Amino acid sequence: MDKQMKFLGSYTKQEKSWMMYDWANSAHSVVIVTILPIFYNTVAQFTRDSASGLSTWGYSTSIAMLVVAILAPILGAFGDFLGWRKRLFAIFLGIGVFACAALAVTPLLPFTDVQTAERVGLAVLFFYVLSQIGFSGANLYYDSFLPDVTTHERMDKVSTMGYGLDYIGGSTIPLLLFLLLNLAGVPTIYCLSFAFGFTALWWLVFSVPMLRNVSQKSGVPRQKGAVKKALIGLGATIKEIVRQKEMFVFLIAYFFYIDGVNTIIHMSTSYGDTLGLGSTEMLLALLLVQLLGLPFALLYIKLAQRFSARTMVGVGILIYMFICIFGFFIRSIWQFWVLAILVATSQGGIQALSRSLFGKMVKDPARSGEFFGFYDIFGKFSAIMGPALVGAVTALASGWMASGRGVDPNDAQAMQAISQQAAPWGVLSILLIFFAGAGLYFFVLPKYAKRSQ
């Protein structure tokens, strides 16, 4: 594992170990978030409500994000107790790994009749939600370690390189193995089972450097009544965030624009599958995203050094707004490939630089867990809104089209055709969220940023 990090010679051992967790958890980001929806849609076709796969997946993603969003500030406050942050990180890591291992069993279960399909579908959704809770909870503590592992000046570089490792490791290798097995003629159910199980193993093994080498340097001692004090202190933290206008406006803007980013990540393959695009071709396109992700992440580092991280986040927002418009017109696989390349240009950069921008706004490293808890809640609450919006708009458009054409809602084949026509409206609705985030980021945030300098 140390040999794999030799090319990161300019980084400290703690920085490299911290960045390796992006390599570790990115297997979940790709395999579970992109392959699992395709499998779920397959199972859903055998259920009574076979036409609502995209909507159900959107609602399930929102439920997972809601659970984490509600818990995030409390978890963040607990993570500021000396010695607790890594323990809590390990607990959520274990939850995520267990859920992925459980998902490995689901493709091997029978699901070709209505009753078994509905049971398997519920199992997939349950363990998917559980894996998202583990992934998001562990990420909260992972992010809050950033001020502990590096300096204020190196945050942009370290944060963005973490996303770069994401692309050359966990985002690429497990997906590539799945595709190779599939192309070699291995039955799809075994390919899926391998992919989910391998994700659990990959995630666990490559988290070892983080568990061994990263330590919590800042925090507060846990004393009698400290938990109650921390919970009461959340109110004071909210007031402090509101007083720091730059941080407050940034978080509101982030709430909206990162919602669009996360929604596109979580819904892309479900959307493509609803449109009837080939799953193998879509996954190859997503593999291209991962291969292009590192050079574009490195480009974001360079451009951020020249033009500032704040400017490059703005560029990412504009690119994603164009992606929403382009996504509305997708009808063939080559257009999905173009969309994948557009996503590759900014996916890592906008997330990494947003994380480091916020990290620089935290004045007290001893309370980084608490502040990153609120950073996480804004990100996760936004991830509730986007997928639910796509699901609701798609369902409304389907109902309107079916009513206008006099289609019987029980006619599965006709409703599936209508769902294909309604899905683009769900994707276009994401643009509304980007408009809100862009307005705050470009027109309100600069006023408060100048005052804080």
Is 433 domain-assigned? yes
Is 0.85 topped by the overall pTM? no
Query: 127 vs 132, 392, 400, CA distance in Å?
Result: 8, 23, 33
Question: CATH no. for residue 373?
Answer: 1.20.1250.20
Is 206 domain-assigned? yes
Residue 447 pLDDT > 80, yes or no? yes
Lowest pLDDT segment from 62-76, 77-91, 395-409: 62-76
Q: Which domain holds residue 80?
A: 12-452
Q: What are phi and psi of 12, to 5 degrees?
A: -75, 165
Is 160 domain-assigned? yes
Is 3 domain-assigned? no
Both tokens assigned to 217? 């340097």
CA-CA distance, 134 to 100, in Å (whole number)?
Answer: 10
Q: What are phi and psi of 219, to 5 degrees?
A: 155, -175
Structure-model confidence comparison of residues 16 and 66, the more confident one:
16
Is 6 domain-assigned? no
Half-sphere exposure of residue 21, counting CA atoms within 13 Å on the CB side? 31
Q: Which residues pair with 81 in a beta bridge?
A: 220
Is 387 domain-assigned? yes
Q: Strands, DSSP E only, in 185-232? A: none
pLDDT tens-digit map of 395-431? 888 888 888 777 766 666 677 678 778 888 988 999 9
List the Cα angle 200/147/171 in 5-degree steps: 30
Helix axes 279-307, 173-183, angle to 10 degrees: 160
Report the length, in residues, of the chain.
453
For the chain, the C-alpha Rg in angstroms (whole number) is: 21
Based on the structure, what is the number of domains in the chain? 1
Is 441 domain-assigned? yes
pLDDT tens-digit map of 254-275? 989 998 888 887 677 667 776 7
pLDDT tens-digit map of 262-317? 888 767 766 777 677 777 777 787 778 777 877 888 888 889 989 998 999 999 99
Is 4 domain-assigned? no
Q: Which long-range contacts (CB under 8 A, 24 or more apart) does 118-123 make?
A: 118/47, 118/48, 120/43, 121/40, 121/43, 121/44, 121/47
Write b or e for each residue in 226-247: b if 16 or more Cβ atoms lie within 10 A of its Cβ, otherwise e.
Answer: beeebeebbeebeebbeebbbb
